[in-house]
Amino acid sequence: MQVEVGIDPVAERRKEAGIPTFKEAAARVFTEHKASWRNQKHRAQWLSTLETYAFPTLGNLSVAEIDGHHVRDAVISIWLEKPETARRVRQRINTVVDWAIGKGYRTIPLPIAAMNKSLPKVKAKRAHHTALPYAEVPAFTGKLRERDSVGRLALEALILTATRSGEIRGATWGEVDLNNALWTIPAERMKAGREHVVPLSSAALDVFRRAQGYREARSELVFPGQRGDKPLSDMTLTKICRDMEMAAVPHGFRSSFRDWVAEETDFDGDIAEMALAHAIGNKVEAAYRRGNLLEKRKAVMEAWGRYCVPN
C-alpha cells in the first residue's frame, strides 16, 4: 500500500530507526568537530564544500546507503578541473561515513582503493624544482641501494624523510633518536626557523642504521663528507642523480612525495604539508604539541617508506 501511494517503505523504516540522511549526518559531524578546528578558513570551507559538491547528489540519501560510486559521481565533475577541492570533498564525505560507522548507522566503510582507481589520473603541476614522477621513485631507490656510500645513503634518507638537502647533509647523531624513530631538526637549521620533528619510517631507520657504519670519531655528522668534520657538499647528491642518468634534482623528491600523497592516498593534505615543514595555519602548533599530528605524520611517512622501498 505504501508503494502505491508513492512512499518508499525501506526509507520509512530507516527514518523510524533514526538513521540520518547524509546531509543531516554531515551537519552533526560539523557541529561535533568545529570547535577543534582552529583554522577559521578550514572551518568555513568544511561544510560549504559539501553543500556545493556533495549535497546535490548525496544529501538526501541515507548515510547507510552511501557507496563508492555515489562519492565518485559527486566529485567527478571537478576531479580534473579542481583536483585539490575534489580530494578534500572526497575526504570529508569519508569522514561523515566513518562517523556513521562509529554511531552504528552502518558497518561497511567506503571502498576507497577501488573508488580511487576508477577516477582519472590528475596531471601533476610543473614544480619549480625538477621532480621525479612518484611512480618512478621505487625503481630509483632500488637502483640507489645497489651500491653503498655515504652520499647514496644521504640521498636515500632525503627521499624517505621528504626533507631538504641542507637538512639531511647537516644531520647529527645528537638529533636522531633511533629508539623512538624520531629525528628532531633544530630551528636554526630549518628554513622556517622552527624546530621540526621527522618521524622515521622503518625504511628510513634502516638507512640511519646503515649510516652508523660510516660514523666518524671526530664528527657527529650522520653523513660526513670526505673530510669527516665537514658535511657532504650540496653537489654530491646532485652528482649522484646525474650519474644515475636522472634529470630530476634532490629537492624535487619533496614534490614527488607531495604528489604521491595527493594522488595515491587519502591522507589529509595538511598532514603532507606538515611533513614538508610548511606552515598551514594557527591550528597546527597546538595540535602538533598534543602529538595528534605527529601520530598521523608517522602513518604517512611509514606508508611513503613502504611505497619507496617495497618488500
Q: Which three cell numbers stand for residue 151?
A: 652520499
Res 306: pLDDT: 95
CA distance linking residue 68 with residue 131, whole number of Å = 32
CA distance linking residue 233 with residue 218, whole number of Å = 18
Res 281: pLDDT: 55
Nearest to 223 by CA among 174, 179, 168, 177: 168
Let me know how long the chain is. 311
**From the centroid of its chain, how far is CA 64?**
28
Res 289: pLDDT: 44
Res 228: pLDDT: 64
**How high is the mean pLDDT in each 10-residue block of the chain (311 residues)?**
49 64 94 80 84 93 93 91 88 93 93 86 63 91 92 96 94 95 93 90 96 84 83 90 87 92 85 81 49 80 94 73
Map out the domains of the chain with their CATH numbers. 9-118 (1.10.150.130), 134-308 (1.10.443.10)
Q: Is pTM beyond 0.75 here? A: no
Res 218: pLDDT: 74
End-to-end CA distance of the chain: 60
**Cβ-contact 101, 63 below 8 angstroms:** no
